[in-house]
Amino acid sequence: ADCGVGEVCEKASSYQLAVLFIAFAFLVIGSAGIRPCSMPFGADQFDPHTESGKRGINSFFNWYYFTFTSAMLVSATVIIYVQSNVNWAIGLGIPTALMFLACVLFFMGTRLYVRVVPEGSPFTTIVQVFAAAFAKRSLKQAKDPKQDLFDPPHTSAIVTKLAHTDQFRCLDKAAMVASPEEVRSGGAAAADPWRLCTVQQVEEVKCLIRIVPVWSTGIIYYVAVVQQSTYVVFSALQSDRRLGSSFHVPAASFTVFAMLAQTLWIPIYDRLLVPRLRKVTGKDEGFTLLQRQGIGIALSTVAMIISAVVEDRRRDIALNQPTIGTTQTGGGISAMSSFWMVPQLMILGLSEAFNLISQIEFYYKEIPEHMRSVAGALAFCNLALGNYLSGFLTTIVHRTTGGGQNWLAQDLNKGRLDLFYWMIAGIGVFNFVYFMICARWYRFKGTRDA
């Protein structure tokens, strides 16, 4: 029912809430299908065996994220404005219509797409390797992997043949032939894949295990990124948001500056910097994928340090100078312009442009080809787990500082949000060091034993 300002609004019925939550469930299911699969599916349209195809894949991830960010920029401004100031039904109807149009365009291109034929479940292979290695855990390590491990001719036209590596050698036992009966006549296949696996299967599992430490740094990294949509909004509410004489910038719209930085930086990096960096580094992508991730982590830490300094200044002005009003929750609004938060948001945006894109591309290239949908899901799992970790840290801070001066008090002028930012910056420094160790230890897919 319609509800005017100051009126007591009628509660939604159980039926209305059920429709709303069912819609949320469909959104979650749809996003879980689209997000992990759309990127590897798009990259599959390029031939990785040609130079133009390799460069096309490198650019694709940049331009995919450029499109993604540009769409979010429109959503965070135009769509939110329609929802807030015109009509919620129209504001939700526009994305619905756009998704329908996207479906139409997607199916119109069906005959044009390169479609890679599936070769079975990758998860079955993973479980088989662990099961076979556990069953043969009492065997001694193979002295000569080339002679002692089961390595039949590679027949897949999709998955790249992987060389044997000496990391996680305990898994090599899954490919050790304990008795002649484990191999079928002809020697090309195992009699029981749960008792004997190929070197290729073992190396695919090793690829996944090697990625885990690097992947875990992304969870910690996102703790800093999450702040742009949480406490940055609260800080904006308690600072001067006036633009001109009468217009007030919505607090939630400040996240647009991070998106704007990404949108501007990606084409500059891809079209102007990468060609020059190729000449300097000799790499097709300019910086390596791990270097770009490291730059992103470093930038996020810098952004948190700037956030702490700006918040300390905002609070100091609010406490020692006349405020310009109060928020709906009673907190004083500092006379400091909220646009002082733009630099930290722009740096966070650059951080995402470096880290997130390189994360996705890193997983795509390093995970075996038949697991690329899993690769697409890993980055979004990082984002989800980073949100949970941020919430966990917030809970700890509330419980440990709530008895005195709560760092995260509802009125930020009474809290110490700057100390919370310093804490996240400290975690960022630890994460950067941890990432450097992981990156130095990491062995890229296809790298042979030394």
Query: How many C-beta neighbours within 10 Å does residue 244 have?
Result: 6
Q: Domain residues of the chain, as ranges?
A: 12-117, 122-205, 209-449
d(CA 117, CA 194): 24
Amino acid identity of 53? Answer: G
Query: Per-residue pLDDT averaged across 51-72, rounded?
Result: 81
Report in angstroms the alpha-carbon separations of 175 from 303, 366, 375, 379, 401: 48, 22, 25, 31, 54
CATH classification (class only), 209-449: mainly alpha
pLDDT of 5 reads 62
* Range name among 180-194, 205-219, 345-359 with the lowest pLDDT average: 180-194
**Model confidence over 92-144: pLDDT tens digits?**
899 999 999 999 998 998 888 888 777 677 788 899 999 999 999 898 888 88
pLDDT of 100 reads 93
The DSSP string of 254-312 is GGHHHHHHHHHHHHHIIIIIHHHHHHHH--TTSS-HHHHHHHHHHHHHHHHHHHHHHHH
Query: Per-residue pLDDT averaged across 181-205, rounded?
Result: 87
**Model confidence over 340-359: pLDDT tens digits?**
999 999 999 999 889 988 88
Handedness of CA 237, 240, 243, 247 (dihedral sign): positive
Report in angstroms the alpha-carbon separations of 444 from 237, 357, 439: 46, 18, 10
Amino acid identity of 135? Answer: A
Residues 6 or more apart from 287 whose CB is under 8 A from it?
Answer: 277, 281, 295
Q: What is the dihedral of CA 256, 259, 264, 267, to 10 degrees?
A: -160
Report residue 311: phi and psi, to 5°: -65, -40
Query: Per-residue pLDDT averaged across 222-247, rounded?
Result: 86
| Rounded (5°) CA angle 59-286-205 | 75
Judge contact between 317 and 339, C-beta under 8 A.
Answer: no
